[in-house]
Amino acid sequence: MIVRHAKSAWPDGVPDPERPLNARGRRDAPAAGRWIRERIGHLDAVVCSPATRTRQSWRLIAAELDEPPAAVFDDRVYGASVDTLLTVVRGLPDDVGSALLVGHNPGVAELVAALTGEELEMKTSAIAVVEFGGSWADTASGRANVVDHATPRGS
């Protein structure tokens, strides 16, 4: 699964990596977690950008999951290109069956497009579920299929 962080605030004087979620983001991230719990279930691994808004998004998503895995906060995911995100995905251990990547646009949208050939709108809190055969190390452009796509919103 590829997830874009929830909606963030733009406080004056706060560097981009430290921008927090805004009120809508704090409502939408738990909705994304409920969507994942209801449609996907168990996750084996999570790789997350270390930015404040992605960490907060993951924490709120994880709170809605049964037995969420501990996230790996990987500096390479922040502001990453498609090639870098592919490198991160290819580095997942072979015993991981389902993984969640929490990142930023344009990288996450470009990753979905590269993997599947489909351009999906990855608004804040959007989730793209893609599947492919083979090991993570074999992840390549055009080899995955979109299974589901949603942009859950909280109330």
Q: Is 18 exposed, middle or buried (0-12, 13-18, 19+ CB in 10 A)?
A: exposed
Tell me, yes or no, whether 63 lies in a domain.
Answer: yes
Domain annotation covers residue 131 = yes
Edge to edge, the sheet with strand 2-4 lists 71-73, 45-48, 99-103, 2-4, 127-131, 145-150
pLDDT score of 148: 97
Q: Which residues of the chain have pLDDT under 70?
A: none
Q: What span, in angstroms and rounded, lies between the C-alpha atoms of 46 and 102?
A: 8
155 is a domain residue:
no
Specify the number of domains making up the chain.
Answer: 1
Asked whether residue 114 is assigned to any structural domain, the reply reads yes
Total-model pTM: 0.96
Specify the pLDDT at position 155.
Answer: 80
The one-letter code for the residue type at 141 is S
Host domain of residue 104? 2-9+17-150
User: Is residue 74 situated within a structural domain?
Assistant: yes
Question: Which CATH number does the domain housing residue 75 bear?
Answer: 3.40.50.1240
In a domain, 90, yes or no: yes
